Structure 1
Amino acid sequence: MPRGNKSKSRSRAKRQQARGESQSLQGALPTAKEEGDAPSSPDVIGAESSDAGAEGSDVGAELSVAGVDEKRANACTIAEAIDSARRDPMTRKASKVLHYLLEKYQKDEQPLEADMLKLISRKYKVHFPWILEKATYQLEVVYGLELKADKQNPQSYVLVSKLPILPGANEGGRKELPKTGLILTLLGMIMMKGDRASEEEVWQFLHMQGIYPGRRHLIFGEPRKFITKELVEQNYVEYRQVPGSNPPSYEFLWGSRARNEDTKMKVLDVLTKIRNAMPSYYPQQYEEALSNQAERAARRGEASGYHAARVPSHFHSTSSSHT
C-alpha cells in the first residue's frame, strides 16, 4: 500500500477509535435536574445500560425532525434500561449504599461496613461485595470519590476525592457534592479526541448526559459557566478560539493544572473503569502517565517507586471488592 494511503488509514482508524471512546463515556454522568429539585437516592446504573445515541449527529441536527425522532428513540431506550435496572433488587440495594455513602460524605462522617450490611438486609449479605462494587463504581465515575478502607479500623472506610475539591457551598453542616466526576470525564473525552475537542463536540457529548447550557444542574450548577469559567479559572481546562477560524469557533484543551498534577492517571483510571478494560487498552496514554509520574517523583527524590508500572487494583479483576 502506498505510504499516503497507509497514513490515511491510520488517521481514519484513530478518528474511529476516538469517536468510539467518547461514545463509551455516554451515560457516565447523572442527568440534569432543575434547580430546586430535592436530591433523591441516586440510581446505580452502569454506563453500559445507557446507549445514549450511538452516533452523535451534526450540530443543529437536533432542531430537525430527524434529530427530534432520534432523541425520542434514544430517550425511550434509556428509559427502558433505567426502568429495568430499577426493578433489579441488587441494583436497588446498590443505590441505597450509594445514597448512604453520599450522605456520609456530606456530613463528613466515616462510612461503616456494619451500616451498609444493615441497609441491604441479611438476605443479600452474600452479595455485598458485588453491591459495594456497583455503588463505588458510580461513586467514582459520577462524583470523583474513592472509597478506601481505614487502615486503623478495618470495619470503616474513608471517602477520598480523586482531585482537589473545588470551593463550594457548605450549608447546614453538609458539604456540597463534589464536581470532580464531570471534570475527569470531560478531560477523558478531550484526551480521546486527540487532546483537543471542539466546543460543538463537547456539548454534543454533554447533551448525551442530559446536561445543557442554560439549564441548571443539581450538582454542576449552570453548565456553561462551570465549564468555560470555573474550570478555566481552576486551570483544569483551556477554552480558546481556534486560530484562524472565521467565523470564530472555540475548542477545549487540558489546562496547566490538569497537565501538572497526576490527572492523566486518574482520568485513565476512570476510562478503564467505564470500559471495563485494562490499561493496555490505552498504551500511549498510559505510558505518558507513567512517565509524568516518574518525572514528578524524581523531582521529589522518590523515583524508584514509579519506574514499575502502577496498575490500580480494580484493573486486575472487576470482581474484587471489600469483604
Structure 2
Amino acid sequence: MDFSQSSQSSQSFSSEEEEDPCTSQHMLVPQILRRVFIDDKTAKLVEFLLLKYQKKELVTKAEMLHIVDHNYHEHFPLIFKRVCECMCFGFGIDVRQGNSPSHTYDLVPVLGLTYKGIIGGDQIIPKIDLLIVILTVIFVKGNCVSEEDIGKVLRMRTMLPKRKNFLNEVRWKFVTEDLVQEQYLEYRQVPNSDPARYEFLWGPRAKAETSKMKVLEHLAKVNKIHPRSCPILFEQALREELKASVN
C-alpha cells in the first residue's frame, strides 16, 4: 500500500487539519502504522523482546542470535537495526546497550505502557500496536473517539501488508472487551444518544502508565518533527503535565 492509498483511507480523520498540522491526514494512523514493518526475519525477535520487556529482563546478543535463523546470522546487524526501529516506532520501547562487556541490552519504556495482561499468547504484535494507535487517535481527536471511527482504524489495518491475520471479530473483542477489562480503554454510551451510540476514551490505566505528552513525543518522533509543531496538541499535553505536577 503506497502513501496515497494510506491518505485516502484516513480522510475521515482530517477534519482538524487546518487547526493543527498533527491532525492532518498525513500525520495520523496510516503514518504510524506504515512505519512499523515486520517481516519473517524480525517477527520472532520482536515478540521475544516484548516478552522480555514484560518480565523486566535484560536481553543479550547471544539470546537474540539464538532466536534468529542461523542462515541470517551474518545479516544480524541489519536485522537488529530494523528490530530496534520497530520496537521504538511501533511499541514505544527503546533498546539500549548496557555497559556490560557481554553485549546486554536494556528495554526502556519510552511511552511508559507496561502491556501487562495483553502480552502473551497469540497475536502479541498486532495487539500492542493497535493499543498504541487507538490511544493516539483518542488523544488527537480530542480525548474521545466514536465507535465508528475506531471501526475505521481496524479496517485500515486489514490493508497493511506483511501482517499476521488478526480477524475482525477478534480485534473488535480485543478492543471492546480485553482493553476495557485491562482498563486501558473506557467504552461508554454517548450521553443522551437515542438510538444509543458508543465512544472510546483513555482508561484509568492508560492515564496512570503514560501521558499525552509522551504520546505526542512518540507521534512526533515517528513523523520526525518537533512536538511543538503541533501547537494545539502540545498545549493540551503541557496543561495536563502541569496539572499532574501540582497534584
TM-score normalised by structure 1 residue count: 0.52
1:13 aligns with 18
Deviations 1:241-295 (A, max 9, x none): 2222221111112223323443323322331233222212223433444554455
Letter in 1 for 2:186: E
User: Could you tell me how far apart the structure 2 residues matched to 1:250 and 1:258 are?
Assistant: 19
Q: 2:117 aligned to 148, 151, 167, which one?
A: 167
CA contact (8 A) 2:96 2:107 kept: yes
Question: Where do 4+ consecutive residues of structure 1 move more than 6 Å?
Answer: none
Q: Structure 1 pair 264/293, CA: closer, same or farther in 2 (3 Å)?
A: same
User: Could you tell me how far apart the structure 2 residues matched to 1:105 and 1:262 are?
Assistant: 18
CA contact (8 A) 1:235 1:258 kept: yes
Q: Structure 1 pair 286/151, CA: closer, same or farther in 2 (3 Å)?
A: farther
User: Could you tell me how far apart the structure 2 residues matched to 1:290 and 1:153 are?
Assistant: 40
User: Could you tell me how far apart the structure 1 residues matched to 2:119 and 2:202 are?
Assistant: 26
Corresponding residue pairs, total: 218
Letter in 2 for 1:268: L
> What is the deviation of 1:157?
0.9
**Larger Cα-atom Rg:** 1
User: Could you tell me how far apart the structure 2 residues matched to 1:295 and 1:148 are?
Assistant: 31
2:199 aligns with 251
User: Could you tell me how far apart the structure 1 residues matched to 2:101 and 2:211 are?
Assistant: 29
Alignment of 1:1-323 (within 5 A): 13-14=18-19, 18=23, 20=25, 24-26=28-30, 28-29=32-33, 46=35, 96-97=41-42, 99-106=44-51, 110-112=59-61, 119=72, 121=74, 128=78, 132-153=80-101, 155-161=103-109, 162-168=112-118, 179-210=127-158, 217=166, 222-290=170-238, 292-293=240-241, 296=244
TM-score normalised by structure 2 residue count: 0.66
CA contact (8 A) 2:118 2:127 kept: no
CA contact (8 A) 2:94 2:107 kept: yes
1:121 match: secondary structure: helix
User: Could you tell me how far apart the structure 1 residues matched to 2:49 and 2:21 are?
Assistant: 41
- Structure 2 alignment gaps of length 5 or more: 1-14, 160-164
CA RMSD across the alignment: 4.2
User: Could you tell me how far apart the structure 2 residues matched to 1:18 and 1:266 are?
Assistant: 17
Deviations 1:131-159 (A, max 9, x none): 64433232234345431222445722123
User: Could you tell me how far apart the structure 2 residues matched to 1:105 and 1:297 are?
Assistant: 30
CA contact (8 A) 2:35 2:90 kept: no
Q: Structure 1 pair 16/249, CA: closer, same or farther in 2 (3 Å)?
A: farther
1:222 match: secondary structure: helix
Letter in 2 for 1:100: L
Letter in 2 for 1:285: L
CA contact (8 A) 1:136 1:146 kept: yes
Letter in 2 for 1:238: E
> What is the deviation of 1:101?
4.1
Percent pairwise identity: 26
User: Could you tell me how far apart the structure 2 residues matched to 1:16 and 1:276 are?
Assistant: 13
- Structure 1 alignment gaps of length 5 or more: 1-9, 30-44, 48-81, 83-90, 300-323
Letter in 2 for 1:26: P
CA contact (8 A) 2:114 2:209 kept: no
Deviations 1:88-143 (A, max 9, x none): xxx97xx6355434335447661418966984627x96xx4xx6443323223434
User: Could you tell me how far apart the structure 1 residues matched to 2:94 and 2:207 are?
Assistant: 21
User: Could you tell me how far apart the structure 1 residues matched to 2:30 and 2:91 are?
Assistant: 15
1:167 match: secondary structure: coil
